[in-house]
C-alpha cells in the first residue's frame, strides 16, 4: 500500500504531521508539491519573492528527503514538483502513482478549503482517500472554546485558555526520521523545474538577509534563541534587531511551529513568554478565519460596514509609494517594497495611517500588503488590518488613532530606521526627523533637503484627519 503526501505550506522534512502519518501507515510514501496556477496567475507580477522563496526551499527539501531516506536505509527519495491546477494535478498524480490515499496538512483559508474539497472529490471518484492533519498551528478550529462552548472573539481570554491547555503533548515533534525508509524513490528524470519554466524571474531575495529553506529557518531561529531574553524590551524598535524574522518561515512551514512553541514554553523567561504570546496571536487569527470566513471580505464587527471610506486614489498612491511626507510611514512602506518585510510596529503605524489619517478602506491596504509581503498570511494580515481599522477583534474603544509623529519619536527616536529607508532625510537633525515640515528654509538648506521638492510636504494634517475620523466613525454608534 502506498500514499502520496501533498506538501503546501509545510516545506520541511522534519516534524511534519502528514508525512509522519503516511510513513507510519503505508509501505511506500511519495511526496509532491504543485505550483498551483490558480494562485500564481493571481499574483501581481511574475517577479515575486514568495515564488522564489518556495522554489529555493523546494530544492533543499528535495535533497533533504533523499538524505533522510538513505540514512534510514532506503534507496533515496525526493519531491515531485508539478506546475498547473492542483485540483486536477493531484488526483491525476495519485492515480498515476497508484496510491491508496493522499495525505496533507490542513489549511484554514476559505479558498484552500474549497480547493481541497475539489481534490477530495476528484480522488474519491478514483477510489483514492484524502486525509488532512493539523500541522501549522498548535491549537485549531474548536480546540480552544469559551466555557459556553463558543469560539473566542477577544484575544486575552483566548490566550489564557490557550496557555492553560498547552502541555508537552501538543508541542511534541513527529519523529519522521524513524520511518523514513518507506520514502519512495523519485522516477528517473524528475527534477524541480527552473524558475523560468514556471514563468517567473529572479527577485532580490538572494541579496536580503533572509536565508530560505529549512537551513535558513534553523539559522534564523538559532540566532533568535540567543536574543529571545531581550524580546519584550526590543521588539517594538524597528532599527534594532529585536524580533525573530521568522514569519516567512512560519508561512511556508520551513520551521515547525511545535519546535518554536516548545522552545519558548520551556525557556519560560519574560522574553520567551512574550514571544510565545505572538505565536498565540497567530493561532488566534487562524481560528477566527476558520470560524468566520466572512472576514475575508467583510468587517468582523458588521456594524462597521456602515463607515463611509474615502476614495482617494492619489493619497492611496502616496501611501503605497512611501511619499506621504510622514517619514516613519514612508520608511516603512519603502522597507516593504525593497525587502517584502515590514516590522510589526510599523505595520500598525502604516495601517492606522491609511485608515485613520487618510480615511481609506482597510481592504485597500490589506490587498496591498497581500501583494507585497513575503510572509503574507491571509489570517494574520486580515486580523492585523481589521485590528488597525477598529473593525475587528479588539477590546479597545473604537476611537484609538495612532499619532504618526509621536509613534516615530517613541519607536525610532534617533531616526535610524527612517534614515536607512529615506536617504533624502539622512542629514535632517534628530529634532526634526519625525516632522521635517517644521524646518525653516535655512534648516532645510543645512540638511540638504527642500520640502516639496526632495521630500514631500505632509499629504494630510494629522490633527484635522483625527477630527474627520472621529466624525466618520460616529456612524457606528448612532
**Catalytic residue ranges:** 278, 281, 309, 344, 362, 385
CB of 166 to ligand FAD, least distance (A): 15
In this chain, which of 330, 375, 394, 412 binds ligand FAD, going by CB under 6 A?
A: 375
- Site size for ligand FAD, by CB under 6 A? 29
Closest CB to ligand FAD among 90 and 246? 246
Closest CB to ligand FAD among 89 and 246? 246
In this chain, which of 144, 276, 380, 425 binds ligand FAD, going by CB under 6 A?
A: 380
According to the binding rule CB under 6 A, does residue 246 interact with ligand FAD? Answer: yes
DSSP calls for 66-120: HHHHHHTT------EEEEE-HHHHHHHHHHHHT-SEEEEE---SHHHHHHHHHHH
Distance CA 15, CA 472 (A): 49
Closest CB to ligand FAD among 203 and 381? 381
Q: Candidates 14-22, 341-349, 431-439, 449-457: pick the segment binding ligand FAD (CB under 6 A).
A: 341-349
Which residues lie closer than 8 Å to 13 by C-beta, 6 or more apart?
19, 61, 64, 65, 68, 176, 214
Distance CA 314, CA 99 (A): 55
In this chain, which of 244, 335, 407, 444 binds ligand FAD, going by CB under 6 A?
A: 244
Q: Are 408 and 418 in contact (CB under 8 A)?
A: yes
Distance CA 449, CA 457 (A): 11
DSSP at 304: G
Strand partners, 2: 28
Q: Candidates 185-193, 263-271, 381-389, 421-429: pick the segment binding ligand FAD (CB under 6 A).
A: 381-389
Distance CA 395, CA 323 (A): 32
Closest CB to ligand FAD among 62 and 135? 135
Distance CA 79, CA 77 (A): 7
Closest CB to ligand FAD among 87 and 375? 375
CB of 334 to ligand FAD, least distance (A): 16
Closest CB to ligand FAD among 262 and 380? 380
According to the binding rule CB under 6 A, does residue 228 interact with ligand FAD? Answer: no
According to the binding rule CB under 6 A, does residue 376 interact with ligand FAD? Answer: yes
Binding mask 346-365 for ligand FAD (x = CB under 6 A): -xx--x--------------
Touching ligand FAD, residues 264-323 (CB under 6 A): 278-279, 281-282, 285
Q: Is 85 exposed, middle or buried (0-12, 13-18, 19+ CB in 10 A)?
A: middle
Closest CB to ligand FAD among 49 and 343? 343
Which residues lie closer than 8 Å to 164 by C-beta, 6 or more apart?
none
Span between the terminal Cα atoms of the chain, in Å? 64
CB of 10 to ligand FAD, least distance (A): 14
**Dihedral sign of CA atoms 430, 452, 323, 200 in order:** negative
Name the residue with the smallest CB distance to ligand FAD. Answer: 384
Q: Candidates 2-10, 92-100, 169-177, 369-377: pick the segment binding ligand FAD (CB under 6 A).
A: 369-377
CB of 368 to ligand FAD, least distance (A): 10
3-state secondary structure of 451: strand
CB of 183 to ligand FAD, least distance (A): 29
Distance CA 363, CA 351 (A): 10
Cell of 64: 533533504
Q: Are 471 and 464 in contact (CB under 8 A)?
A: no
CB of 269 to ligand FAD, least distance (A): 15
Closest CB to ligand FAD among 26 and 53? 53
* Interface positions with ligand FAD (CB under 6 A): 235, 243-247, 250-251, 278-279, 281-282, 285, 343-344, 347-348, 351, 369, 373, 375-377, 380-381, 383-385, 388
Amino acid at each position: 500500500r502506498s500514499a502520496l503526501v501533498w506538501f503546501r505550506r509545510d516545506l520541511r522534512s522534519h516534524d511534519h504531521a502528514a508525512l509522519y502519518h503516511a510513513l507510519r501507515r503505508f509501505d511506500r510514501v511519495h511526496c509532491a508539491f504543485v505550483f498551483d496556477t490558480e494562485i500564481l496567475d493571481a499574483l501581481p507580477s511574475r517577479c515575486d519573492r514568495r515564488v522564489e522563496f518556495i522554489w529555493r526551499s523546494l530544492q533543499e527539501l528535495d535533497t533533504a528527503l533523499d538524505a533522510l531516506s538513505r540514512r534510514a536505509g532506503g534507496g533515496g527519495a525526493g519531491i515531485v514538483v508539478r506546475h498547473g491546477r492542483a485540483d486536477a494535478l493531484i488526483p491525476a498524480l495519485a492515480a498515476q502513482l497508484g496510491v491508496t490515499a493522499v495525505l496533507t496538512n490542513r489549511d484554514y483559508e476559505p479558498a484552500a478549503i474549497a480547493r481541497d474539497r475539489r481534490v477530495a472529490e476528484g480522488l474519491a471518484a478514483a477510489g483514492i482517500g484524502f486525509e488532512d492533519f493539523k500541522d501549522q498551528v498548535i491549537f485549531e478550529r474548536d480546540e480552544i472554546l469559551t466555557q459556553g462552548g463558543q469560539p473566542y472573539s477577544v484575544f486575552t481570554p483566548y490566550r489564557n485558555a490557550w496557555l492553560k491547555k498547552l502541555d508537552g503533548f501538543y508541542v511534541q515533534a513527529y519523529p519522521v526520521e524513524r520511518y523514513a525508509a518507506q520514502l519512495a524513490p523519485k522516477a528517473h528524470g524528475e527534477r524541480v523545474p527552473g524558475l523560468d519554466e514556471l514563468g517567473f524571474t529572479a527577485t532580490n531575495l538572494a541579496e536580503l538577509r533572509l536565508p530560505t529553506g529549512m537551513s535558513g529557518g534553523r539559522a534564523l531561529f538559532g540566532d533568535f534563541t540567543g536574543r529571545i531574553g531581550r524580546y519584550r524590551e526590543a521588539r517594538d524598535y524597528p532599527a534594532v534587531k529585536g524580533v525573530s524574522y521568522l514569519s516567512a518561515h512560519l508561512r511556508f512551514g520551513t520551521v515547525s511551529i511545535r519546535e518554536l512553541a516548545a522552545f519558548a514554553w520551556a525557556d519560560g523567561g519574560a522574553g520567551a513568554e512574550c514571544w510565545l504570546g505572538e505565536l498565540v496571536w497567530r493561532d488566534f487569527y487562524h481560528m477566527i478565519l476558520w470560524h468566520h470566513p466572512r472576514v475575508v471580505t467583510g468587517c468582523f464587527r458588521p456594524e462597521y460596514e456602515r463607515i463611509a471610506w474615502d476614495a482617494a486614489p492619489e493619497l492611496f498612491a502616496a501611501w503605497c509609494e512611501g511619499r506621504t511626507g510622514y517619514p516613519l510611514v514612508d520608511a516603512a512602506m519603502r522597507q516593504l517594497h525593497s525587502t517584502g518585510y515590514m516590522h510589526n510596529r510599523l505595520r500598525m503605524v502604516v495601517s492606522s495611517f491609511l485608515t485613520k489619517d487618510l480615511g481609506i478602506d482597510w481592504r485597500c491596504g490589506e490587498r496591498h500588503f497581500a501583494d507585497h509581503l513575503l510572509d503574507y498570511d491571509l489570517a494574520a494580515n486580515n486580523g492585523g488590518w481589521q485590528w488597525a481599522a477598529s473593525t475587528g477583534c479588539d477590546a479597545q474603544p473604537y476611537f484609538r488613532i495612532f499619532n504618526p509623529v509621536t509613534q516615530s519619536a517613541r519607536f525610532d527616536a534617533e531616526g535610524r530606521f527612517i534614515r536607512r529607508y529615506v536617504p533624502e532625510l539622512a542629514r535632517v537633525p534628530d529634532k526634526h526627523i519625525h516632522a521635517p515640515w517644521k524646518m525653516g528654509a535655512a534648516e532645510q538648506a543645512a540638511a540638504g533637503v527642500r520640502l516639496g521638492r526632495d521630500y514631500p510636504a505632509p499629504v494630510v494634517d494629522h490633527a484635522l484627519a483625527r477630527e474627520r475620523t472621529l466624525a466618520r466613525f460616529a456612524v457606528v454608534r448612532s
